[in-house]
Amino acid sequence: MDEIWTRMYEAAKAVQNGRKISNYVEAGGVAAAVLSASGKIYTGVCVDTCSTLGICAERSAIFAMLTAGEQEISRVLAIMPDGRTGAPCGACRELMVQLMPERYRDIEIMLDYSAERVITLGELTPEWWI
């Protein structure tokens, strides 16, 4: 496993803290790490609400990257509540495509950390409406 994936996994694991915030909100069940083009790692957690106001961990991490002034994504890793890694949902894929319409296909996605299985967003989302 390459050192950057390990650092990303550890960064996401460090912020994952699944918990009930109120009767209407849970947070931290899923955690994500995004590697920007500059090499900086940004993290985020999911926030689930009883309405549609929640956000996925990947988008939370991407928004942290945008807030810091960066806009290019190199890699994405998400840790699910069971501890395994998995693919971003459609909304997260859509955001990445819209952020990088000419280069989204190059974004690397960690599908299975334990098996060291990495694919590109282009492989995961080969044809998009943009």
CB atoms within 10 A of CB 52: 5
pTM: 0.95
Mean pLDDT of 83-106: 96
What are 28-65's pLDDT values in tens digits? 999 999 999 999 999 999 999 999 899 999 999 999 99
Q: Where are the domains of the chain?
A: 3-124
What are 16-29's pLDDT values in tens digits? 999 999 999 999 99
**DSSP state at residue 22:** S
Q: Does domain 3-124 have CATH number 3.20.20.70?
A: no
Residue 45: closest CA among 63, 29, 34, 22: 29
